[in-house]
Amino acid sequence: MIKPNLKKPIHFLAVGFGSGLLKPAPGTWGTFVGLLVAILFWEITHSPFFFLVLTLISFISGCYICQKTADDLQVHDDGRIVWDEIVAIFLMFAFLPEYNTLYYILTFIVFRLFDILKPYPIRYFDEKFESGLGIMLDDIIAAIFALISLHLIYVII
**Is the sign of the CA dihedral 19, 22, 27, 33 positive or negative?**
negative
Q: What is the pLDDT of residue 127?
A: 85
CA distances from 50 to 44, 71, 87 (A): 10, 31, 13
Q: For each of the chain's 157 residues, which pLDDT tens digit applies?
A: 899 999 999 999 999 999 999 999 999 999 999 999 999 999 999 999 999 999 999 999 999 999 999 999 999 889 999 999 999 999 999 999 999 999 999 999 999 999 999 999 998 888 888 899 999 999 999 999 999 999 999 999 8
Contact (Cβ atoms closer than 8 angstroms) between residue 4 and residue 21: yes
Please provide the size of the chain in residues.
157
Q: What is the pLDDT of residue 129?
A: 84
Average confidence score pLDDT of the chain? 96
Amino acid sitting at position 121: P
| Domain parsing of the chain, residue ranges | 31-156
Q: What is the pLDDT of residue 77?
A: 82
End-to-end CA distance of the chain: 47
**Could you give the CA distance from residue 40 to residue 73 in angstroms, rounded to a whole number?**
31
